[in-house]
Structure 1
Amino acid sequence: MDRRVVITGMGGLCGLGTDAASIWTGMREGRSAIGPIVNSEFHELRVRIGAEIKALPEHDIDGKQLVSMDRFSVLAVLAAREAMRQAGLSSKEGNTYRFGATVGVGGCGWDAIEQTYRALLLGGKRAALLTVPKAMPGAATGQVSMSLGLRGPVFGVTSACSSANHAIASAVDQIRLGRADVMLAGGSEAPLIWGVLKAWESIRVLSPDTCRPFSADRQGLVLGEGASMAVLESYEHAAARGATMLAEIAGIGLSADASDIVAPTVEGPEAAMRACLADAGLAATDVDYLNAHGTGTKANDQIETAAIKRVFGQHAYSMSISSTKSMHAHCLGASGALELIACVMAIRESVVPPTANYRELDPDCDLDVTPNVPRERKVRVALSNAFAFGGTNAVLAFRQV
């Protein structure tokens, strides 16, 4: 069974805002949320910038549930609740075994782990009772399921920086295969923790000032925290209840580099983009906007540009490209889900969000990356790239319904 899959609700939190509408407003305005981190202990960190959620919105998560949740799970639940509200859905309205969830997470409950290690090694105390259920990578999905009463296919997805796109792709598969009618899908990450930041420092890919994707003077990526979830439904289910269909997920392309644990190839991303177009039944010239992986590192941006040129040929110079990581930073397992908001809203409002902080042309990154200022243009089809450590690539195609 091959069923069309549409998006009927979106929710999100990141440095740009604590709901999907404010996140899109920030993207559309080209506003960067990158700045000094204020809510974490630094110790001897050298890099002290990120895209941080300064304060969570008020919520009514049950206290007994809250004590079992790490920050990444809280973010996922808040985003999922917002998405369900926008979709006008409740699991009580149908068979709860036909409602499921997939949440992509690049890491785990870092805060719970760090607090435990500090208690054990520095304080001579025991590990907290709920450390394991708070820290496990699949916790966010389980908490979303419990919060919203979802009893269908529910599982976590972990593939580093492509986790959200893989989670969304997996959710689409559940609907296409007839295992569910409604899936909540997206990603969540809360990496602004001392130990995590220290580990990223050691890789020497963190920028000391800000994220400048595709700009010749880029110095690396910036980490951010956030979550975004989308309600996916079969077209028939959404139409039967008169739901507003925001966009269609038209195609999915997955590939692996099978090369190096951290260094990307051109061939892997190229294969994923080609597979996505083929799955959607699209020609390269049908794509109006591409939300690039665009991390702001020297090698990644050059390799992604080369892969785009191979896939799109001369059309690569005609379509609009941008990296919204220049604004919400690299939220690791949540990035693709936040970028879904950019793609869907670009289609709905005919506005391409810019690549912020751009200053200098890199001859190796010479495509139209929509520098600094949003561009009005008709967007019928948008692609979203996600590439990750481990060489795992996931590309999604969104289409006007």
Structure 2
Amino acid sequence: MGRAPSHTSSRGLAVPSDPAAEAAQEAGLVYTSDDEPGIRRVRKGKRFEYLGPDGKLVRDPAVLDRIRSLVIPPAWKHVWITARPRGHMQATGRDARGRKQHLYHPRWREVRDRNKFDRMAGFARVLPRIRSRVSRDMSRNGLPKEKVVATVIRLLETTFARVGNEEYAKENKSFGLTTLRDRHVDVRGATVRFVFRGKSGVEVQVGITNRRVARVIKRCEELPGQHLFQYVDVDGERRTVTSDDVNQYLREVTGEDFTAKDFRTWAGTVLAVGALRDAAEFESESEAKRKVVAAIDEVAHKLGHTRAVCRRSYVHPVVIDTYLDGRLEAALSTAISRIPARLKSDEAAVLSLVRRKARRNAA
């Protein structure tokens, strides 16, 4: 598989032409990588000192203030800090469990999250097409690639689980759908139950009751090997489904650059609409804010995130603003009256809200 196209930064570093680099440029930042020389953190008794790319002790108060503002956990080892204040990635390190962690520039996170939300209307537009294709491919005979990848996508949508990455599975022993092993699943009739260690070491327990999904997974289990999601290619060889396979399938079906990650962003906002709808009306501003916090906590639990990350990156601000303005119920009623094909009522409400927000921003 080829590398992503790249260009060269002002310092001669190869900068991938990917969403991270594009968001850095949009934010007015410089794309950075811990492959480049940076500042190292070294322990000196009960405190830390910092050595610049030249190996000399960092004494500049402005640089030290920036480092302190990052609040790098003391337990991190092998800490790298960019020497560039406008770097999109400010620091990396290994936590107590040896997992690689990253700290990003706030402006980059803001642009990245906004861009994720800007994709929602487009994703909602192609979602019925994805569902239709997934349904057809799950009906194929045998265990071809299209059938197994379609099953993974059905699970992405219904369990809210991450797609998975083999590097994380090997390095951190954390799993997502495409990296699950046979030991992570239990199939009983039409009910499928997954239990596995997810990102950040969080135990994930999700399930689905769907006879078609259960049948495909049962057949996958029967194949030799530890990986759960395998298919049989045209030559009769077993192959493991990867996150690249899932993303390529989505690009082929939609004709656009949507990925597995878009399902979680979409799900977070749709779940928030449902939680706030169930929260009903409020009598005061403080009551409304409490109900918003409770709704975000409910969504965070389902997505396996903290409240802060969930609110910042997975729930479109327009949903919360509409609820606090007392207009969510009306928005739901309007959306339900003209639900697009294969979209549920809460999904139609999200589509209506994000489209209206986009029109206001463009005006």
Query: TM-score, normalising length from structure 1?
Result: 0.26
Larger radius of gyration: 2
Bigger relative CO (Cα 8 Å, ≥ 6 apart): 1
Query: TM-score, normalising length from structure 2?
Result: 0.28
The structure with more helix, counted as a fraction of residues:
2
